[in-house]
Each structure stands twice: as structure tokens, then as C-alpha cells.
């Protein structure tokens, strides 16, 4: 770490380093405990430098959660060359693996959802909305009628899946394939229940 602190970084590299340290810190502390003072000590830089890059604690939180969001969405981008159900299975499998490989990043999003700052919560909601649109697209391709209820149900499932991933992928040794299958079954059941209601 001392060698890293002595290395002369470009402003972009230094900013990225600070964000990365912020993401990693959230494994063992809530988002609100990620302060300018704590991060400046961890990075070996002045508080003034952090204020220069992020403006405030809330600005720091926003950038940490935004980085986590972008990383997860990029890593779990659906493979459009796959048929709908195969694409869903592949995406869910990669989400579970991402959560297990990058627990700091996932915790940043989970803890950002409970933030008292509206801008941070908006970043998390953008991630949820993007994931929901990916799932909605699968079921529309499978012939499920588009409706307000379908969209509400699948957006709600994304929040459910977050909690399920925390409890299973992070807190147990449950096989990743079993977790992905559980997520597939729950989202399929929700879409089927909406379709039955619409028909009925």
C-alpha cells in the first residue's frame, strides 16, 4: 500500500483508486460509515483532495454506487444471440457468479438502496430498472402480453432477487447453479401468474 501511495498517479487514476477503495470498504461497513475522513486515511491522501474529486460525502457515495452499478450491468449484459430462455438462464448464472466474485460491488448497490441520499438511491433504482427491462424483454419475446402489471411484478422481482442473492450467494455455500435455478423458477412463476390473471 505504501508503494501505491508514493506512486504518482494521473488525476483520473487517483480518482478511480479512491472509488475502488470506497467500494471495497462497504463489505464491512454501511454506506453512511464511508466518510471522507475514513477514505482519506485509507488512501493516504488529504481530505481536501477527496473534496476536490467528490465535493462531499454524498458525492463520494454517489460515485461509489454508480461505479458498482456500471460494473454489474456490464458484467451481466445479456447475450443477445441466445434464445430468450437460454439468455435468461445465462444472465442469471452470471449474476450469481458476479455477486460471489465481487461481493464488495454488490454490497455497494444493496447498501446504496438504503441510503438517505436521493441521488444515491436514484443510481440504485437505475440499476434495478435496467435489470427489470432485461427480464421483461425475455418474457415479451416468449409471448407474454405486455401490461402494467407484468412490469410492476418483474420490477418487484428484481428487488426480491437482490435479497435472495444476499441470503444465498453471500451468506451460504449453496451451489451457484441451484441459486440461479431458484431465481429462474421464481421469475417464471411470477410472469405466468400475471399472464393467467390477464387471461382470466
What CATH number is attached to the domain comprising 129?
1.10.357.10
47 pLDDT higher than 70: yes
Q: Sign of torsion, CA 137 142 143 148?
A: negative
Residue 72 shares a structural domain with residue 151: yes
> Worst-scoring range by mean pLDDT, 26-30, 98-102, 115-119, 145-149?
26-30
1 pLDDT higher than 50: no
Residue 43 shares a structural domain with residue 127: no
Residue 114 shares a structural domain with residue 160: yes
Residue 102 shares a structural domain with residue 39: no
Evaluate whether 93 touches 13 at the Cβ level (below 8 Å): no
Helices (H), the chain: 2-6, 11-25, 36-43, 47-54, 57-75, 84-101, 103-112, 118-141, 148-165, 176-199
Residue 32 DSSP one-character state: G
Count of structural domains, the chain? 2
51 pLDDT higher than 70: yes
pLDDT at site 71: 92
Residue 53 buriedness (CB in 10 A; 0-12 / 13-18 / 19+): middle
199 pLDDT higher than 80: no
pLDDT in tens, 142-173: 999 999 999 999 999 999 999 999 999 999 99
Coil, strand or helix: which one is 93? Answer: helix
Residue 159 shares a structural domain with residue 73: yes
Evaluate whether 151 touches 143 at the Cβ level (below 8 Å): no
pLDDT at site 198: 58
> Worst-scoring range by mean pLDDT, 44-48, 110-114, 153-157, 175-179?
110-114
pLDDT in tens, 73-114: 999 999 999 999 999 999 999 999 999 999 888 888 888 888
2 pLDDT higher than 70: no
pLDDT at site 200: 45
Q: Residue 43 sits in which domain range? A: 2-62
Residue 75 shares a structural domain with residue 137: yes
Residue 33 shares a structural domain with residue 78: no
30 pLDDT higher than 80: yes
Single pTM value for the model: 0.84
Last residue of a domain, one of 62, 86, 102: 62
183 pLDDT higher than 70: yes
Residue 55 shares a structural domain with residue 72: no
Mean pLDDT over all residues of the chain? 90
Amino acid at each position: 500500500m505504501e508503494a501505491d501511495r508514493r506512486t504518482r498517479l494521473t488525476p483520473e487514476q487517483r480518482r478511480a483508486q479512491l472509488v475502488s477503495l470506497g467500494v471495497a470498504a462497504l463489505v464491512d461497513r454501511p454506506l453512511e460509515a464511508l466518510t471522507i475522513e475514513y477514505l482519506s486515511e485509507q488512501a493516504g491522501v488529504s481530505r481536501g483532495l477527496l473534496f476536490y474529486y467528490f465535493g462531499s460525502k454524498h458525492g463520494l457515495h454517489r460515485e461509489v454506487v454508480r461505479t458498482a452499478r456500471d460494473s454489474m450491468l456490464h458484467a451481466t449484459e445479456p447475450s443477445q444471440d441466445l434464445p430468450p430462455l437460454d439468455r435468461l438462464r445465462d444472465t442469471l448464472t452470471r449474476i450469481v457468479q458476479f455477486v460471489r466474485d465481487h461481493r464488495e460491488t454488490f454490497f455497494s448497490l444493496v447498501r446504496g438502496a438504503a441510503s438517505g441520499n436521493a441521488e444515491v438511491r436514484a443510481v440504485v433504482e437505475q440499476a434495478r430498472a435496467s435489470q427489470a427491462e432485461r427480464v421483461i424483454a425475455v418474457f415479451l419475446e416468449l409471448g407474454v402480453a405486455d401490461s402494467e402489471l407484468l412490469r410492476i411484478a418483474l420490477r418487484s422481482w428484481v428487488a426480491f432477487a437482490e435479497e435472495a442473492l444476499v441470503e444465498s450467494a453471500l451468506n451460504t455455500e449453496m451451489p451457484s447453479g441451484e441459486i440461479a435455478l431458484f431465481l429462474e423458477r421464481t421469475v417464471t412463476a411470477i410472469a405466468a401468474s400475471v399472464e393467467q390473471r390477464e387471461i382470466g
